[in-house]
Amino acid sequence: MDVNAAVAAAAAIAGVLTGVIAMLAFRWSERDQKRPTRTSLHTDPVLPPGVDTVLSVLRSSAVVLDEADAVVKASSAAYALGLVRGGKLAVEPMLQMARDTRRDGEIRQVELDLPRRGTGRGEALAVSARVAPLGSRLVLLLVEDLTEARRIEAVRRDFVANVSHELKTPVGALSLLSEAVMDASDDPEAVQRFAGRMQIEATRLTNLVQELIDLSRVQNDDPLEDAEPVRVDELVAEAVDRCRHQAGAKQITMAAGGTADLHVWGNRGQLAAALGNLVENAVNYSPARTRVGIAARRVSAPGGDLIEIAVTDQGIGISDKDKERIFERFYRVDPARSRATGGTGLGLAIVKHVAASHGGEVTVWSAEGQGSTFTLRLPEAGAARDRAQQHPDLGDEADGSSDSSPYEPLPAPEVLP
């Protein structure tokens, strides 16, 4: 009897203890739910109505900070630029701007140069940061990437400076030569000599203006609006005929070969100008009594067959450091030689833009003292026409590459009459 009573008493005590523990646990849970957590301190601040939607469609990088400088919301672009790391704003000048704006409520704006994240290059990332209060507790930071805009502006300044310099040279020469002609009016031989020089400078000025017009046209026009199938052998014949006089004066043999009956799809005038520039450069930069070859062939590619037109010379060649820049506007490997041959420094830039706008590219292989091979790669007529119909914005593609690549020996060319 005593044993049964003891067991019953122990069970009763255990039940009471269990009930007490359960009640304490319930009350502790309720109090814990009411207590703000560390996470809720950062996420509780609610953005004003509509702000979240507006930030999601902004092109700018957006960051919203709370009173503790914690990131409440950040766009994917802000993470991509490296502005936000580990839930914090990682750019100290922007963080200081946010604190100042939170203190006095004034809108602030500043332009900064930030190091590029994950690159070993010394190039800086140019940004414009604007900070404004967002309600009573939050601060909004908007960051615009100005890197590309600054690059374009630098290119525009260089272009204007180069054009001004290139135009000033022949115009200044014509002015001086005209004064010399006036002073030598009683000397027919001197007048004739100065008049010849004036014709040379006038021709150089005319070529420069024409190439500026051509470059502007290939950059702004869509070559596929009036596209048509163009025979490659006709383009080659036209380029050869364009340079026949210069080649004959230097006793340079011009030869054409490769696969016959090839067609590309595009603007005939632009394609003829591009190939003509390559052939003209080959002739101008080749020594006398050498050979310039033009050959075309079809090559297989994942997106469709390509037509390669290669122009090979036996000239002085191009160094590795110059090969990276020869497709830049007004860049000359040898400025003195370019002026002697009447070059403007725009020919290869035109070739690059024509190739890119037609969905192709131009590359160069060269070795100093061994000559050069410029290769123009364009989609074959059928494949290019299909691409143009499926993608009407083909003409807006990026500039073609100028990476160097070896070119296999061409078929034996046929000497043109």
Of the candidates 284, 280, 277, the residue with the CA atom closest to the CA atom of residue 339: 284
**Global pTM value:** 0.53
**How many whole angstroms separate alpha carbon 347 and alpha carbon 330?**
9
Q: How confident is the model at residue 230 (pLDDT cuts 50, 70, 90)?
A: very high
How many angstroms separate the most distant Cα atoms in the chain? 154
Q: What percent of the chain has pLDDT over 90?
A: 16
Averaged over 384-393, what is the pLDDT?
A: 50
110 or 404: which leads in pLDDT: 110
Residues 272-323: tens digit of each pLDDT: 989 999 999 899 888 999 999 999 999 988 878 899 999 999 888 888 888 8
End-to-end CA distance of the chain: 133
Torsion of CA 54, 55, 58, 64, to 10 degrees: 140
Residue 11: predicted pLDDT: 62
CA distances from 256 to 231, 294, 373 (A): 14, 5, 14
Averaged over 198-219, what is the pLDDT?
A: 78
Residue 375: predicted pLDDT: 94
Residue 88: predicted pLDDT: 85
**How many whole angstroms separate alpha carbon 407 and alpha carbon 375?**
8
Q: Quick one: tokens of 59? A: 């092109």
* For residue 111, pLDDT beyond 50: yes
DSSP conformation class of 380:
B
Beta bridge partners of 109: 130
Q: Three-state SS across 303-345? A: CCCEEEEEEEECCCCCCHHHHCCCCCCCCCCCHHHHHHHCCCC
Which residue, chain included where needed, has tokens 């304490």?
A: 24
Averaged over 331-349, what is the pLDDT?
A: 64
Residue 401: predicted pLDDT: 37
The mean predicted confidence, pLDDT, of the chain is: 77
Q: Which segment, 24-33, 42-51, 255-264, 378-387, is predicted with the most confidence on average?
A: 255-264
Query: Burial level of 332, CB count in 10 A (0-12/13-18/19+)?
Result: middle
* For residue 129, pLDDT beyond 50: yes
Residue 405: predicted pLDDT: 36
Averaged over 185-210, what is the pLDDT?
A: 85
Residues 63-101: tens digit of each pLDDT: 898 888 888 888 888 888 888 888 888 888 898 988 998
In contact, 230 and 263? CB cutoff 8 Å? yes
Those residues with Cβ within 8 angstroms of residue 46's Cβ, 6 or more apart along the chain or in another chain? none
* For residue 414, pLDDT beyond 70: no
185 or 13: which leads in pLDDT: 185
185 or 239: which leads in pLDDT: 239
